[in-house]
Structure 1
Amino acid sequence: MRQPRTENLRCFTPRPTFARARAALAGLVLLFTTGCSSSSALYTPGPDRLDANPFVSFEQYQSRVRSYLDSNLVAIDGYPRAQQIDWNLPFRQPAANHCPGDRSTGLLLVHGLSDSPFVFRDLAESLAQRCVEVRTLLLQGHGTRPGDMITADAAVWRTQVSTHFQALARDVDRAFIGGFSLGGALATEYALSGEGARPDGLVALAPAWQLNGLRNYLWLAGVARVFADFVEEEPELNPVKYESVTINAAVQIGEVLKRTQTAIDQPGAGELPLFLVATEADSVINLDYLTGRFHDRFAHPDSRLLVFRDTRQAWPANREDGRTTFFNSYLPDANILEMSHQSLAIAPDNELYGLGAPLQRCLEPNGLSLNACQQLPDTELWFSAWHDGARSVPTSRLTYNPWYDQMVASLTEFLQPAPSRRQ
């Protein structure tokens, strides 16, 4: 597979979506006077909007979304357009043929902001082999062009999640809901809403329950939206995730966070088993909020918290809990300083983000230009979470999870409990 083209990057300052929004909303006045503009179709809404209509079967839904992608997707350079459609397409991964059919388990996974169902390709394949059916969906505004986020609506996202989970619950005996980042917040909100079919448990990978820093500026987004569509228009190098972020995205995130936090704080949240995954070095999600709510609100004995952290450092005594497992994120033999937000759900052999894959190296350098990062020898480049400035050694964002197999084993145990614990 060819590497994506990297020429003409004069405006390219790669940063995670939430970090870009935080920086730009804090300096709101700059939106009205400066910018890196483009007339490209990437930055304008497409001819169609993805709906949240019910569907007869998942295959019908998938066919409908494929037609939508074919009409709306603006391909980026370096990858075949047909391949980009396949990567962004929502999918259903049935349990493997060797699985018993007496008691089926299913999991609906919801992707994050600016992301796509591709982020769950690895988890779906791994869990299907462990007898869990996995389904995904494509949130409105995603998977096609950043311009489609200008008109995306959290109310539609919410309806999509509800429609897909209730369809899954009709087809399996035990139905779980989960998501990554924004998708984790949407899944949490539905799971605790008391509306529709009730999940048997919640899976939240770095859920956007509270954000680092950006929460202090979200109120500006509604004002900024009057004057501009984008926080920044970035050259798009990733075929399965937007680099550019719209101001409307911040408006919709603010609504989702408010409703999710209200749902978490209501009585009864602890009755739902929760599988929560977080990384201590997350540049996007507030870890203190996650761990605090896990201990205070989610009291179910089957709940589990997995934290990727530098185990050379002490863990605060007030966060200790027998339901918590730690994985060391400082792995010098692999040139890894710490785990990143984006890396959690990705296997080391992922075709885009895995070791040696096109997006694994220099996706988001810290304090380095893209070209300078790409020129570094492998032995000199380290991997970490995203940071505002340079680190003690040259780093770019870690794109895969070195503890992926161990995480999947823990998740499988949560989804498929021992027979003695089954009701």
Structure 2
Amino acid sequence: MLPRLGVLLSALVFLVSCTVPPDSPLFQSSDNLPPYNQDSFDQYVRDTRAWIADNRAFISDDRNLEIQLNMPFELRPDKPAKRGILFVHGLGSSPWYFMDIATAMANDGWLVRSILLPGHGTRPADLMLPDNEDWEKTIAHHANLLANEVDELWLGGFSTGGNLVTSHALRDENVAGLLLFSPGFYPNNDYLFLAPAISYLWDWVDIDDEDNIVTYQSLPTRGAALYYRSVSTVQKHLETARFDKPVLITMSQHDSVLDPNATLNAFQTRFPNQKSRFVWYGDTPQNLDDPRVTALASNLPDRRISTFSHMNVLFAPENAYYGEAGRYIMFENGQDGIPLPDDPETLWFGAWGQIAAEKYHARLTWNPYFLELLDNIREVTGDS
């Protein structure tokens, strides 16, 4: 959904009528949002699971799997943990996005939690319910809960979640470091600032078939406005403050949502810690002289990969849903009019909108360098 946001917002500027959703529970919001401020994380998980079960508009026959992949979770190591990390997902996605990384970090001795941002996990229309304060308070509450259980608190975020945890970390001295995956600091769209105003005129930016159990495919304008506010907030923080503690940032050169070069520049000027690392998937940036930046090739013809996408960094090739042989393939990837190949072995993978002659590109949803990413995390956090 998010890779289409820039194109869709640009198109909305010229629309004269609203997008009308089908008559489906998916496009009718729930009556309320779930509570987030329970006294324990266990109670939060139980309450949220029950809320999802009662409010989700299910799209498959496996309701238990849909609930499981959308609820918050905790992974504890075998021994009492001294360090903990709280993960926050992106717009339209789910806590499960961090399962592969969370599993590895729990095995390394971390107490890992991944929360559900209000408005997610049930139906796209529920993104009409929260405001940014709901998201900020949810993160603050669970950061405090985790800080009470460990000696060292880290935060991690993907895309919009990266914006939210960075803004929180710049206000919370308890945060010892950040892991940011495709953080959405700098969108590549000039019309995003219009999203809050557009949300009063049209309810939906995009309406799509909902066939992905871990990601909303459709986007209400309210969701786009929430993303814009997270961008505005984190940019204001980064203009006036630096984060002096360790941070890992990953970014694809071909990210269809963001401005990768602006993110790299922010890393070099606003994140000065010498333990910090920036992993750039693509061609080595010109005139790069920062030893903290690592460039990894994203054109891997032997694996039929042309470019890296906004989302693929998070997932191991073995992931059962998004992995190299996973059950879900994002065929719809901004290539209107190009027929699907008859032979799946000829399918190529890349960022949203990747087009090449005689090649059909699905979205890349796994990271060929996943083991290297885990090593990067260990290096930045001091586990190596």
Matched residue type, 1:122:
D
Residue 273 of structure 1, aligned match among 221, 246, 255: 246
Q: Which residue of 2 aligns with 1:391?
A: 356
Alpha-carbon deviation of 1:186? 0.3
Q: How does 1:250-265 map to 2 (within 5 A)?
A: 250-265=224-239
Contact 2:32–2:129 (CA under 8 A) maintained in structure 1: no
Q: Which residue of 2 aligns with 1:316?
A: 286
Distance change >3 Å, CA 336–CA 187, structure 1 → 2: same
Structure 1 residue 105, shift from structure 2 partner: 1.2
Q: Superposed, which structure 2 residues align to 1:1-400 within 5 Å?
A: 16-19=1-4, 21-28=5-12, 31-33=15-17, 35=19, 37-52=21-36, 54-77=37-60, 79-95=61-77, 97=78, 99=79, 101=80, 104-194=82-172, 198-213=174-189, 216-267=190-241, 269-310=242-283, 314-317=284-287, 319-359=288-328, 361-368=329-336, 372-373=339-340, 375-387=341-353, 390-392=355-357, 393-400=359-366
TM-score by length of 2: 0.94
Could you give the per-residue CA deviations for residues 194-214 of structure 1, whole angstroms, max 9, x where no partner exists? Answer: 4xx52110111110101111x
Q: Compute the displacement of 1:131 (Å).
A: 1.2
Q: Secondary structure at the match of 1:193?
A: coil
Are the equivalent residues in 2 in contact too, given 1:178–1:202 (CA < 8 A)? Answer: yes
Q: Percent identity?
A: 29
Count of residue pairs brought into register by the alignment: 383
Distance 1:127 1:364, change over 3 A: farther
- Counterpart of 1:4? none
Between stretches 248-257 and 115-124, larger displacement belongs to: 248-257
The unaligned stretches of length 5 or more in structure 2 are: none
Q: Could you tell me how far 1:218 is from its partner in structure 2?
A: 2.2
Q: Does the Cα contact within 8 Å between 2:198 and 2:221 map onto a contact in 1?
A: yes
How far did 1:28 drift? Answer: 2.3
Q: Tell me by how many angstroms 1:250 deviates.
A: 1.6
SS of structure 1 residue aligned to 2:362: strand
Local SS of the residue matching 1:114: coil
Asked if 1 retains the 8 angstrom alpha-carbon contact of 2:21 and 2:27, the reply is: no
Instruction: Tell whether the 8 Å contact from 1:114 to 1:242 is kept in structure 2 after alignment.
Output: yes
Amino acid across the alignment from 2:223: A
In structure 2, the partner of 1:409 is 375
TM-score (norm 1): 0.86
- Residues 123 and 417 of structure 1: is their aligned pair in 2 closer, same or farther, counting only changes over 3 Å? closer
Q: 1:265 deviation in Å?
A: 1.9
**CA deviation map 1:317-341 (0-9, x unaligned):** 1x33111122221111110111111
Tell me the distance in 1 between the aligned counterparts of 2:148 and 2:13.
50
CA deviations 1:131-169 (Å, max 9, x no partner) are 122101100111100010112211100111111111111
Give the superposition deviation at 1:366. 4.0
Where 1:211 maps in the other structure, the secondary structure is coil
Letter aligned with residue 39 of structure 1: D
Distance 1:398 1:26 in 2: 25
1:47/1:71 contact within 8 Å kept: no
* 1:32 Cα offset (Å): 4.3
8 A Cα contact 2:19 2:202, kept in partner: no
